[in-house]
Amino acid sequence: MGILGRYNGDRWAVYHADAFEFLAIIFALWQLDRTACIPGDNRPATIDRLTARVDGFIGDFPGKAVPTADQTDSRTQDVSWRELKQNFLAIEIYTSGSTGEPKPISKTMRQLEEELQSLETLWPSEPEAVIATVTHQHLYGLTFRLFWPFCTGRTFSRNLCEYPEDILRQASGWDRFSLISSPTHLRRLNDSLSWDKIADGCQYVLSAAAPLDRRDSLAVGELLQAPVREIYGSSETGAIAWRMQKNEAADALWQSLPGVQLSATVEGTLRVDFAYSDSVDPLILPDKVTFTSVDFFSLLGRVDRIVKIEGKRVSLAAIEHALLENSTLVEDVKALTIERQRVETAVVIQLTAEGNRVLADQGRKALIKGFKSELANEFEAVVLPRRWRFTDQIPYNPQGKISLESLQLMFEKEPVIWPKIIHQSVDGAQLLMECVAPAELAYFKGHFEEQPILPGIVQVHWAEAYGRQFLPLTGRFIRLEVIKFQKVIVPDQVLTITLKYDSEKMKLTFKYESDAGVHSSGRVCFE
State the DSSP string of 329-397: TEEEEEEEEEESSSEEEEEEEEE-HHHHHHHHHH-HHHHHHHHHHHHTTTS-GGGS-SEEEEESS--B-
Classify residue 427 as exposed, middle or buried by CB count within 10 Å of its CB (0-12, 13-18, 19+). exposed
Q: Are 172 and 198 in contact (CB under 8 A)?
A: yes
Whether residue 74 is predicted with pLDDT greater than 60 in this model: the reply is no
Dump pLDDT digits (tens) for 405-454.
788 888 887 788 999 999 999 999 999 999 999 988 889 887 776 789 99
Whether residue 128 is predicted with pLDDT greater than 60 in this model: the reply is yes
Span 24-49, mean pLDDT?
A: 93
Indicate the CATH number of 306-409 among 3.30.300.30, 1.20.1630.10, 3.10.110.10, 3.90.920.20. 3.30.300.30
CATH number, span 124-302 = 3.40.50.12780
Between these two residues, 298 and 96, which has the higher pLDDT value?
298
Between these two residues, 52 and 311, which has the higher pLDDT value?
52
pLDDT of residue 72: 44
Dump pLDDT digits (tens) for 269-295.
999 988 777 677 899 998 889 999 988
pLDDT of residue 256: 96
Between these two residues, 75 and 40, which has the higher pLDDT value?
40
User: Domain-by-domain residue ranges, the chain?
Assistant: 124-302, 306-409, 420-526
Span 108-132, mean pLDDT?
A: 95
pLDDT of residue 402: 74
Q: Is there a shared CATH topology between the 306-409 domain and the 420-526 domain?
A: no
Dump pLDDT digits (tens) for 317-348.
889 988 988 778 998 899 999 887 678 999 99
pLDDT of residue 336: 92
Span 196-222, mean pLDDT?
A: 93
Which percentage of the chain shows pLDDT scores above 90?
Answer: 65
Separation CA 94–CA 115 (nearest Å)? 18
Between these two residues, 438 and 397, which has the higher pLDDT value?
438
Q: Are 36 and 147 in contact (CB under 8 A)?
A: no
Domain spanning 420-526: CATH 3.10.129.10? yes
Dump pLDDT digits (tens) for 178-192.
999 998 889 889 888
Dump pLDDT digits (tens) for 344-394.
999 999 999 999 999 988 989 999 999 999 999 889 898 999 999 998 888
